[in-house]
Amino acid sequence: MSETCQHIHLEHDGKLLLVDIGGKGPVKPERGRSCWEGDGFLIRLPTPQEAAALGIDWNERRTNEFRLGGLNHRILYATPMIAWPEHWAWKDSVISDSAVDPVARESVYRTLHRVVSKVIVTNTRGEILMTKVARGFFVGCWTLPGGFVDYDEHPRAAAVREALEELGINISIPDPKGESGTITQGDDSCIIQTAIFNNEGLCWVSFTYHCQADISAEEIVPKDDEIEEAKWFSRDEALGQAVSLFDIEAIKRIN
């Protein structure tokens, strides 16, 4: 079994502690750097021992593990018990400097939220429309219509777009606060959830909306190679079929 390398990801208000190859810091990336002297990387995450030697105390949050470059890495994510660290690096800057160790860049990547948007479509019989997906995380399983939120896209608009792309249906989700531009009356029953499902540490944020629409089977056109089937289920049946924890919790909250 290969040795596991230990690192600590100390972050506060967007600032990240990085050190040089000798463990001294803080140091900052240089934007756009692609060439430098020496064979190794110049900037990296510290070890917990190196951070302690800098006089920093912290509150532990979680530990992530991943394999990179043929080595196993264990990252302790923690919040430093100090005021805003003005002289630390902005965490967003690590991607722009090739001299930063890929472990540090991977660690930052895993702190970025993955945002998905779903919709519970119910008809006048109280049934819930679900899809059996043909690709992605839940192949062969029943889920609520939805998917990833695009760049610069409101989650409500994403849910409407995904329903059209996946099933060929046009839905209208109430927007009582006008969050996406225009006030439309009704209850969107929006539920926002967040979770990290395994020790790789990817953080998911889910927006699930609700709308009512009587849509016939003939109107539903599942997208080729993405949706295997679409079907209406009773609430209890939907709960029995759903596999996503986000979907299950959202369905439970629908009246």
Q: What integer pLDDT is reported at residue 119 of this predicted model?
A: 98
119 vs 142: CA distance, rounded Å: 13
The verdict on 95 and 33 lying in the same domain is yes
The verdict on 240 and 134 lying in the same domain is yes
219 vs 216: CA distance, rounded Å: 5
Q: What integer pLDDT is reported at residue 93 of this predicted model?
A: 95
Which residues span the domain enclosing 100?
Answer: 4-109
Q: What integer pLDDT is reported at residue 254 of this predicted model?
A: 84
Query: In the structure encoding, which two tokens stand for residue 138, read together?
Result: 């839940």
Residues (pLDDT < 70) of the chain are 1-2
Q: What integer pLDDT is reported at residue 94 of this predicted model?
A: 95
CATH code: domain of residue 201: 3.90.79.10
Last residue of a domain, one of 90, 109, 128: 109
Q: What integer pLDDT is reported at residue 1 of this predicted model?
A: 54
Residue with tokens 């930052």: 108
Please state whether beta strands 114-122 and 227-233 pair in parallel, antiparallel, or not at all (unpaired).
unpaired
Count of other CB atoms within 10 angstroms of residue 226: 15
